[in-house]
Amino acid sequence: MRIVFLFSFLFILSEFNSQNTNDSLIPVDSSTFQIIMQRFPNGKVMQMVVIDGDTNYLYNLPTVRIVGEKLYGDAEKDKQFRRLRFHVTKVYPYAKMASKKFAEYNEEISKVGSNRKKRLLLKQREKELKEEFADVIKTMTVTQGRVLVKLIDRETGESTYDIIKEIRGGFKAFIYQGIAKFYDGDLKTRYNPKENEEDEMIERIVLMIEEQKL
């Protein structure tokens, strides 16, 4: 049934092409097969490959993400995934907000001339952040704090340590890193779902959230 539909679609499309394109076919390569481009009046280009006289249309399909909650087949890993799912769901919105505010602050700072005015602006923004998020952060567990640090890296492309250093300076970043180490955390940790198992779980959970499957 799919094959019949495909050939029917290609036939209709070829009829459409003959009526709505110009007569110029642009050869790109000719060896055992030939790739040609057909230009439409609206500027779009259709690519085709001709093999032994048979014409096939080439399409660039958008990336499709298949997201699902697969089990690892290991009781401990499955348990870890479920725990992470709870923590990620809770802190992910704050990581998105942090990323948005960080981008806004960078834009604001880029428009300020003197270093003194930049420091005053950052101090004012820091105060606003504390007033908005201090109570929320106080209720977070150590695990949620660690996950939030990773998610901020995911959203901004920078470690939390580098963000603090950029905004507050190296000394403040050093102090906060020391506090994080006391709670078995590390603000310099980079998000790496390809090599870190916990990060891979977090990435799957985030994709499920973005695809509205959680």
Residue of 95, 91, 78 whose CA lies nearest to 201: 78
* Residue 50 near residue 59 (C-beta atoms within 8 A): no
C-alpha distance across the termini of the chain, in Å: 35
Interatomic CA distance for residues 184 and 92, integer angstroms: 21
* Residue 111 near residue 118 (C-beta atoms within 8 A): no
CA-CA-CA-CA dihedral for 35, 41, 43, 44, to nearest 10 = -50
Q: What is the pLDDT along the chain (214 residues), one digit of tens a residue?
A: 433 333 343 343 444 444 444 444 445 444 556 667 777 777 777 777 777 777 777 767 767 666 666 677 888 999 999 999 999 999 999 999 988 988 888 888 888 888 888 888 888 888 888 888 888 888 889 899 899 989 999 998 988 888 878 777 776 777 777 767 766 678 888 999 999 999 999 999 999 998 877 7
Beta strands at 25-30 and 33-39: parallel, antiparallel or unpaired: antiparallel
Question: Encoding tokens for residue 65?
Answer: 């993400």
